[in-house]
């Protein structure tokens, strides 16, 4: 009983001891914040990776792929049974994406992916990453009549707008075509030579201060043939007629947003191309040896997974269009080939088991089966590793705090020597005396850990407010969205982690009080009473 009472009284009258746990408090708070942010990042990244990649990817080793995806899907279903929730065939080939900005050709290396608009959203979060609300419901490769999101995230208020998307879609396309026509008429009236269109468009746009730069409007099947011929001539080789770009479009394409825009220092997105613009893609055909072919597509939406690796690499087009252009459709039977099948598993299915079952069912020389974790294994384990190292370092800080507690406890034992003698004189046992100091250490640990937890949780919950305050105060961007691709610092508080941190801190405080407690217990009562 006296142990509790004295612990409490010592705690109340010895603020210096509380000072010694300040470092424990700070250590605990830091650990909680760091873990929450790291877990938030890790989770965000995993969900994104997982959202982009389907659960299991079944792919061919060759670029030309395998024939008859329907037969393969049936076989997969037979091998994996009820574990399959959805499947979609895709074709992915490396390609070059080219578009023209103010008279300059910009070419980027991309992964060109043909997807089935109807089923693709059922195997991954693909749909959620699109910019048009209707496309998020059901992707269509037809250009929309406007209505693209101008806000980055619907529930975030402070985030910068994407004003350029306001007008995107058909209105933008019509406006652009109108401007071009106007310019051509002016040129003809002036009797000037007909020069390549884009330079003039550039001039027109510069004059009107349009924030959206123009893109390529020459519709040639070959990049080299960007000649001053009629820019509105139909490009598709299989259709010999001329199209009207104000009312018609090429095959739809959904490039990653990182290919089409960049974020400036103020956090506003600047677009190089917009939905409604046309772009060129050059890619290898399925034959041997592969030949490079080019085609023109109309941008209908952007893909934004917020993983810059994917956003600046992926370009999506309709599967059938790509199959046809690459010559992947058997002319006689009309059966196409694909080079991978994306598989979504049913709730609760074991990822690795299904993968292994599929590996057994199909010859490994022809097909590779991998889970999304396999695909991103090195990245995920690097993040885990980073988290472990950080935790060890931070825990060492708390451990160092333990030595502070040790020193202060020794001081308190010396200071309380006479009281210890008194307690022994009135019959307190050595274990009881040790109990006072162990209990004291425990109490300090709980106070330190508890305050640290409160502090850590408060900081974590308000981390974005704090970030804004710091940014306002220093005028510097603390968390640069152009680097991280999200505006709010993501956090996840794992109660299990928090309790481990608190337990560790309390454990250290108790461990640090063991030595002083032992010393106090060993004090000889007479020596202690004579102590002045």
Partner 1 sequence: MSSEFDTAAAQLRLHDATPAPVTSSPVLRGIGLRKKYRSGTSTLEVLRGVDVELAAGEFVAIVGQSGSGKTTLLHLLGLLDAPDGGEVHLAGTRIDTLSSSKQDLIRNTQIGMVFQSYHLLPELDAVENVLAPLYVRYGMLEWLRRRHDARQEAVALLERFGLGARLSHRPRQLSGGEMQRVAIARALIARPQLLLADEPTGNLDAASGAGILETLTELNQSDGLSIVMVTHDTAIAARAGRVIKLADGCVEQQLTTPGRSAHAPPDFHERPARAGG
The verdict on 421 binding partner 1 (CB under 8 A) reads: yes
Residues 468-527 that bind partner 1 (CB under 8 A): 524-526
Q: Which of 1, 154, 190, 483 binds partner 1 (CB under 8 A)?
A: 1
Using the minimum distance from each CB to partner 1, give the nearer residue, 435 or 448: 435
Indicate the DSSP class of residue 97.
E
Q: Is 424 in the site for partner 1 (CB under 8 A)?
A: yes
Which region among 8-16, 51-59, 292-300, 317-325 touches partner 1 (by CB under 8 A)?
8-16
Kindly state whether residue 207 participates in binding partner 1, applying the rule CB under 8 A: no
Structural contact between residues 440 and 513, judged by C-beta atoms closer than 8 angstroms: yes
Q: Is 93 in the site for partner 1 (CB under 8 A)?
A: no
Q: How far is the CB of 7 from partner 1 (least distance, A)?
A: 10
Q: Is 531 in the site for partner 1 (CB under 8 A)?
A: no
Which listed range, 48-56, 126-134, 256-264, 413-421, lies at the site for partner 1 (CB under 8 A)? 413-421
Q: What residues pair up with 57 in beta bridges, in sequence order?
A: 342, 370
Collapsing DSSP states into helix, strand and coil, what is residue 125?
coil
Query: With 0-12 CB in 10 A as exposed, 13-18 as middle and 19+ as buried, what is 359?
Result: middle
Q: Which is nearer to partner 1, 13 or 208 (CB)?
A: 13
Stretch touching partner 1 by CB under 8 A, among 44-52, 212-220, 390-398, 431-439: 431-439
If one asks whether residue 427 binds partner 1 (CB under 8 A), the answer comes out as yes
Q: How far is the CB of 486 from partner 1 (least distance, A)?
A: 52
Cα gap 352→340, rounded to integer Å: 18
- Segment interacting with partner 1 (CB under 8 A) among 77-85, 187-195, 383-391, 428-436: 428-436
DSSP state of 524: -
Q: Does 378 bind partner 1 (CB under 8 A)?
A: no
Tokens of 496: 């299990």
Q: Kindly state the tokens that stand for 93.
A: 């080939």
Taking CB under 8 A as the rule, does residue 6 contact partner 1?
yes
Our finding on whether 412 is near partner 1 (CB under 8 A) is no
Residue 481: phi and psi, rounded to 5, are -65, -20
Nearest distance, CB of residue 446 and partner 1, angstroms: 18
3 belongs to the binding site for partner 1 (CB under 8 A) = yes
CB closer to partner 1 out of 318 and 421: 421
| Distant-in-sequence, close-in-space partners of 511: CB < 8 Å, separation ≥ 6 | 402, 441
With CB under 8 A, what is the number of residues at the site for partner 1? 28
Q: Segment 433-472, which members bind partner 1 (CB under 8 A)?
A: 435
Residue whose CB is less far from partner 1, 5 or 389: 5
Question: Cβ closer to partner 1: 212 or 423?
Answer: 423
Burial 297-323 (b: 16+ CB within 10 A, else e): bbbbbbbbbbbebbbbbbbbbbbbbbb
DSSP 297-366: EEE---B--S-HHHHTTEEEEEHHHHHHHHT-B-TTT--BEESEEEEEEPTT--HHHHHHHHHHHS-TTT
Given the DSSP bridges, would you call strands 340-345 and 269-271 parallel, antiparallel or unpaired?
unpaired
Contact at 8 Å (CB) between 464 and 43?
A: no
- Of 481 and 525, nearer to partner 1 (C-beta) is 525
Closest to partner 1 by CB, 127 vs 432, is 432
Kindly state whether residue 413 participates in binding partner 1, applying the rule CB under 8 A: no
Nearer to partner 1, 368 or 529 (CB): 529
Q: Which of 50, 136, 270, 418 binds partner 1 (CB under 8 A)?
A: 418
Taking the least distance from each CB to partner 1, the nearer of 8 and 262 is 8
Whole-number minimum distance, CB 427 to partner 1, in Å? 3
At closest approach, how far in Å is the CB of 406 from partner 1? 22
Pairwise CA distance, residues 413 & 13, whole Å: 14
Q: Taking CB under 8 A as the rule, does residue 51 contact partner 1?
A: no
Q: Does 419 bind partner 1 (CB under 8 A)?
A: yes
Residue 15 engages partner 1 in binding (rule: CB under 8 A): no
Select from 107-115, 374-382, 421-429, 499-507 the region that touches partner 1 (CB under 8 A): 421-429
CB 57 within 8 A of CB 342: yes
11-16 — which CB contacts under 8 Å span 24+ positions? 11/440, 11/443, 11/444, 11/447, 14/412, 16/408, 16/411
Token pair 């004291």: residue: 440
Q: Residue 100's closest CA among 303, 325, 314, 296?
A: 296
Question: Which residue's CB is nearer to partner 1, number 394 or number 433?
Answer: 433
C-alpha to C-alpha distance for 74 and 87, rounded to whole angstroms? 10
Name the residues that contact partner 1, by CB under 8 A.
1-6, 9-10, 13, 418-419, 421-432, 435, 524-526, 529
């Amino acid at each position: 009983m006296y142990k509790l009472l004295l612990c409490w009284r010592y705690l109340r009258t010895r603020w210096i001891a509380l000072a010694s746990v300040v470092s424990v408090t700070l250590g605990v708070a830091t650990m909680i914040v760091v873990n929450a942010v790291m877990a938030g990042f890790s989770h965000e990244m995993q969900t994104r990776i997982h959202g982009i990649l389907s659960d299991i990817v079944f792919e061919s080793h060759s670029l030309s792929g395998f024939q008859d995806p329907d037969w393969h899907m049936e076989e997969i279903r037979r091998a994996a049974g009820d574990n399959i929730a959805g499947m979609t065939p895709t074709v992915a080939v490396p390609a070059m994406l080219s578009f023209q900005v103010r008279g300059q050709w910009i070419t980027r290396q991309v992964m060109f992916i043909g997807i089935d608009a109807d089923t693709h959203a059922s195997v991954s979060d693909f749909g959620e990453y699109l910019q048009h609300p209707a496309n998020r419901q059901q992707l269509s490769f037809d250009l929309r009549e406007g209505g693209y999101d101008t806000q980055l995230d619907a529930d975030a208020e402070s985030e910068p707008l994407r004003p350029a998307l306001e007008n995107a879609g058909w209105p933008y396309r019509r406006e652009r075509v109108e401007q071009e026509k106007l310019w051509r008429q002016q040129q003809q009236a002036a009797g000037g030579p007909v020069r390549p269109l884009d330079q003039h468009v550039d001039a027109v746009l510069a004059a009107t201060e349009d924030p959206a730069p123009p893109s390529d409007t020459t519709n040639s099947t070959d990049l080299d043939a960007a000649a001053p011929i009629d820019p509105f001539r139909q490009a598709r080789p299989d259709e010999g007629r001329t199209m009207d770009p104000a009312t018609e479009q090429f095959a739809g394409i959904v490039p990653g947003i990182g290919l089409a825009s960049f974020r400036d220092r103020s956090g506003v997105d600047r677009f190089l191309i917009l939905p409604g613009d046309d772009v060129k893609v050059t890619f290898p055909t399925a034959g041997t040896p592969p030949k490079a072919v080019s085609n023109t597509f109309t941008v209908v939406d952007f893909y934004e997974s917020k993983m810059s690796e994917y956003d600046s690499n992926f370009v999506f087009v309709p599967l059938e269009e790509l199959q046809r252009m690459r010559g992947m459709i058997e002319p006689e039977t009309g059966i196409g080939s694909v080079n991978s099948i994306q598989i979504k598993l049913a709730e609760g299915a074991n990822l690795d088991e299904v993968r292994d079952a599929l590996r057994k069912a199909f010859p490994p020389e022809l097909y590779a089966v991998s889970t999304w974790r396999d695909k991103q294994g090195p990245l995920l384990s690097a993040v885990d590793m980073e988290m472990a190292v950080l935790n060890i370092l931070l825990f060492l800080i708390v451990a160092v705090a333990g030595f502070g507690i040790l020193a202060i406890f020794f001081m308190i034992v010396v200071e309380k020597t006479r009281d210890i003698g008194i307690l022994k004189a009135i019959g307190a046992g050595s274990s009881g005396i040790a109990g006072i100091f162990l209990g004291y250490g425990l109490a300090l640990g709980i106070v330190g850990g508890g305050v640290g937890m409160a502090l850590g949780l408060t900081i974590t919950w308000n981390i974005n407010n704090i970030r804004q305050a710091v940014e306002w105060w220093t005028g510097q961007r603390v968390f640069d969205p152009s680097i991280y691709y999200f505006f709010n610092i993501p956090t996840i508080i794992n109660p299990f982690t928090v309790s481990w941190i608190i337990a560790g801190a309390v454990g250290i405080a108790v461990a640090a009080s063991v030595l002083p407690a032992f010393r106090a217990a060993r004090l000889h009562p007479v020596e202690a009473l004579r102590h002045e």
